[in-house]
Amino acid sequence: MKALKLLLLPYLAVVIAAAFLWPEPAAGFIGESSRIVFFHVPCAWTSTLAFLVAAVYSAAYLWKRNPWYDDVAAAAVRLGLLFGVLTLVTGSLFANVMWGSWWNWDPRESSYLLLVFLYAAYLFLRAAVEDPDRRPRIAAAYALFAVVLMPFLTFVAPRITASLHPQTVINPQGKVLMDTPTRAVFFGALAGFSGLFAWMLSVDARAGRLRRIGQDILGS
Amino acid sequence: MTSLGYLAAVNVVIWVGLFAYLWRLDRRVSEKERSR
Amino acid sequence: MSALAAAWVVCAKDATEELRRKVAIVAVFFFAATAVTLVSFAMVGALALPPADRPPLEAALLWIILFFAAATGLPRAFVAEEEAGTGLALRKTIPAAVVLAGKTLFNFLLFLAMAVITIPGFLILLDWKAGSPAGVAATMLAGGYGLAVVSTFLSALVARAGQRNVLFVLIAFPLLLPLLQAAIAATIEATAGGFPATALRVLVAYDGAATCGAYMLASVAWED
């Protein structure tokens, strides 16, 4: 495990260097801006992955009542928020370069904004419940209720609003056929970010558990 | 410095810094866990 | 006593208390009336807009008012129990899902009462023309039910937390936005005269999902 962690930096260094040096900038994009796909999409992927992890561990907590599962779920949401914000920022920077405006109400864009709000709401809820025995249960209930409504958040509602707002330019990340260098770097970045997420999750969850145990000892 | 070189430098700083911070955090958490 | 009857009893108990003390009803009525009047004053300039351009604006404002009026009045469902000290007794005697169902029903009726104030307000003050009354009514019912289910469930979560008012709005917003978007789209179509079948299908699907979710998680939200 330690070896994997040590390897992550050189691996990511290679991927990032490659992102700038190997593939050609894609057609139809302004300047080098298509390179952001190697950062923006992995961030979005990681944020979504974090949501799934949080949902699974929330359900696991309700089933087994093991507090470690709650530690992982909370850590996952914190990371989901971080990567979600990064997704929005990188996306916004890209939008400004491509279309001259910071926000375009593209359905995918808007659903990520909502996801970030959801993460923040979950963390706020945790902070507002003072009883440490009830907090994991309330948090898990909210997380799973959100999962039930998730399809509407991400798929259905944006399809409806698309008819209200002006048609945006087709999202370049949609169905672009990737040449070999692009595909290699893209999936390389995806793997790298996933590895980074796994490591950050482990550290944050363990730190959360230490905080919780520390409080238990102090509170008794 | 060329714009690509500038971008590379920013990336190096961010990623090395992030990695160092994460490594330090991991070490501290592991120590605390062992001492429990 | 069957579960449905028990839920009805919970609702009736809440309703009787409300009619006696009138706290939530008055708050909600005044909020809706104030909001509609405020919006009307602020929108006087917009009345000059051609009638075809107004529906999106009016629909959006209508549902924003309803959302915040709901955020003001509906969370009291469980908070009032805690304040009155009856929460513990309720938890021990009646199954969580039944309590949830009863309070959802009560909140749905409260919402309909809000709509009764707000819609005529819109009709009169903003010269709103509801092209398809059936469409508007259906949207109010489907949208209102969804609002009630989600609000009631979330109010159980925040009943024993700090910062309740702000907290409720924050946690309700991401979950209710899809409902609001569909309801606004449906209202726009209904205003223009068509029956908003697609948007209503989305609303009903949302209502179904929210009901299932709330039912399955009721005991977690409301247990001790």
What is the DSSP track for C131-178? S-HHHHHHHHHHHHHHHHHHHHHHHHHHTTSSSHHHHHHHHHHHHHHH
Reported ipTM exceeds the 0.95 cut: no
Output the average pLDDT for chain C.
85
Q: What distance in Å separates the CA atoms of residue A104 and residue A169, rounded to the nearest whole number?
A: 9
The lowest-confidence range among A159-163, C66-70, C100-104, C201-205 is A159-163
For residue C30, the model assigns a pLDDT of 84
CA distance to A72, A129, A194, A209, per residue, from B35 (Å): 21, 30, 30, 14
Radius of gyration of chain C (CA): 18
- DSSP state, residue A162: T
- C171-194 confidence digits (pLDDT tens): 999 999 999 999 999 998 888 878
For residue A119, the model assigns a pLDDT of 96
For residue A19, the model assigns a pLDDT of 78
Burial class from Cβ neighbours inside 10 Å (0-12, 13-18, 19+) for residue A125 reads buried
The whole-angstrom distance between A206's CA and the closest CA on chain B is: 7
The lowest-confidence range among A42-51, A153-162, C55-64, C125-134 is A153-162
Q: Output the six-digit token pair for C120.
A: 């005529």
C160–chain A Cβ distance below 8 A for any pair: yes
Q: For residue A164, what pLDDT band results from cuts at 50, 70 and 90?
A: very low
Which residue of A9, A20, A210 is in closest CB contact with B19?
A: A9
Residues of chain A neighbouring B36 (CB-CB closer than 8 A)? 210, 213
pLDDT of C205 > 50? The answer is yes
Q: Are residues B15 and A16, on separate chains, in Cβ contact within 8 Å?
A: yes
- For residue A72, the enclosing domain spans 36-169+176-185+192-219
Q: For residue A162, what pLDDT band results from cuts at 50, 70 and 90?
A: low
The mean pLDDT of C37-55, rounded to a whole number, is 78
Q: Identify whether the C-beta of residue C108 lies closer than 8 Å to the C-beta of residue C16.
A: no
Q: What distance in Å separates the CA atoms of residue C73 and residue A108, rounded to the nearest whole number?
A: 33
For residue A178, the model assigns a pLDDT of 64
- A80-117 confidence digits (pLDDT tens): 999 999 999 988 888 888 778 888 777 778 888 999 99
Q: What distance in Å separates the CA atoms of residue C102 and residue C82, rounded to the nearest whole number?
A: 16
- What's the number of domains chain A is made of? 1
Q: What distance in Å separates the CA atoms of residue C63 and residue C81, rounded to the nearest whole number?
A: 28
CA distance to A27, A135, C35, C79, C186, per residue, from C157 (Å): 50, 10, 27, 10, 30
Q: Are residues A213 and B16, on separate chains, in Cβ contact within 8 Å?
A: no
The mean pLDDT of A146-173, rounded to a whole number, is 61
For residue A165, the model assigns a pLDDT of 41
Give the residue, A110 or A75, on which the prediction is more confident.
A75
- DSSP state, residue C16: H
Q: Identify whether the C-beta of residue A102 lies closer than 8 Å to the C-beta of residue A89.
A: no
CA C38 from centre of chain: 20
Which residue of A17, A32, A203 is in closest CB contact with B22?
A: A203
pLDDT of C128 > 60? The answer is yes
CA distance to A74, A84, A157, B9, per residue, from A8 (Å): 24, 22, 38, 19
- DSSP state, residue A175: S
Q: What distance in Å separates the CA atoms of residue C123 and residue C120, rounded to the nearest whole number?
A: 5
* Chains in contact with A, counting 3 or more C-beta pairs less than 8 Å apart as contact: B, C
Find which of A114, A148, A150 to mutate to test the C interface (most C CBs within 10 Å of its CB): A148
Which residue of A124, A125, A157 is in closest CB contact with C177?
A: A157
Q: Please, do chains B and C touch (3+ CB pairs < 8 Å)?
A: no
- Residue spans of the domains in chain B: they are 1-36
For residue A170, the model assigns a pLDDT of 39
For residue C17, the model assigns a pLDDT of 77
**Highest mean pLDDT out of A121-125, C10-14, C17-21:** A121-125
For residue A175, the model assigns a pLDDT of 47
Q: What distance in Å separates the CA atoms of residue A72 and residue A67, rounded to the nearest whole number?
A: 9
The mean pLDDT of A176-194, rounded to a whole number, is 79
Tell me if A62 is assigned to some domain: yes
What is the separation, in whole angstroms, between the first and last Cα of chain C?
A: 24
For residue A28, the model assigns a pLDDT of 65
For residue A72, the model assigns a pLDDT of 96
Q: Are residues B15 and A206, on separate chains, in Cβ contact within 8 Å?
A: no
Residues 6+ apart with CB under 8 A from B2: none
Q: Are residues A117 and C213, on separate chains, in Cβ contact within 8 Å?
A: no
Q: Output the six-digit token pair for C46.
A: 């917009």
* Chains in contact with B, counting 3 or more C-beta pairs less than 8 Å apart as contact: A
Q: For residue C224, what pLDDT band results from cuts at 50, 70 and 90?
A: low
Find which of A2, A4, A6, A16 to mutate to test the B interface (most B CBs within 10 Å of its CB): A16
Find which of A93, A206, A211, A215 to mutate to test the B interface (most B CBs within 10 Å of its CB): A206
**Highest mean pLDDT out of A154-158, B5-9, C40-44, C209-213:** C209-213
For residue C1, the model assigns a pLDDT of 65
For residue C174, the model assigns a pLDDT of 93
CA distance to A57, A148, C65, C221, per residue, from C213 (Å): 17, 6, 26, 11
Buried b / exposed e over A10-45, threshold 16 CB at 10 Å, is ebbbebbebbbeebeebeebeeebbbbbbbbbbbbb
Q: Please, do chains C and A touch (3+ CB pairs < 8 Å)?
A: yes
pLDDT of A141 > 90? The answer is yes
Tell me if A26 is assigned to some domain: no
CA distance to A135, A212, A213, B35, per residue, from A218 (Å): 18, 10, 9, 16
Residues 6+ apart with CB under 8 A from C70: C107, C111, C114, C147, C148, C151
Q: Are residues C174 and A146, on separate chains, in Cβ contact within 8 Å?
A: yes
CA A87 from centre of chain: 7
- C141-153 confidence digits (pLDDT tens): 999 999 999 999 9
Closest to A139 measured CA to CA, from A54, A47, A215: A54
Residues 6+ apart with CB under 8 A from C35: C65, C68, C69, C118
Output the average pLDDT for chain A.
82
- B1-36 confidence digits (pLDDT tens): 567 777 777 877 888 888 888 888 888 888 888 876
Residues belonging to chain B: 36
Q: Are residues C210 and A157, on separate chains, in Cβ contact within 8 Å?
A: no
Q: What distance in Å separates the CA atoms of residue C67 and residue C65, rounded to the nearest whole number?
A: 5
Q: For residue A125, what pLDDT band results from cuts at 50, 70 and 90?
A: very high
Q: Are residues C182 and A160, on separate chains, in Cβ contact within 8 Å?
A: yes
- Residue spans of the domains in chain C: they are 3-222
- Give percent above pLDDT 90 in chain A: 42
For residue A26, the model assigns a pLDDT of 66
Which residue of C158, C185, C209 is in closest CB contact with A160?
A: C185
- Give percent above pLDDT 90 in chain C: 26
**Highest mean pLDDT out of A23-32, A35-44, A56-65, C188-197:** A56-65
For residue A168, the model assigns a pLDDT of 36
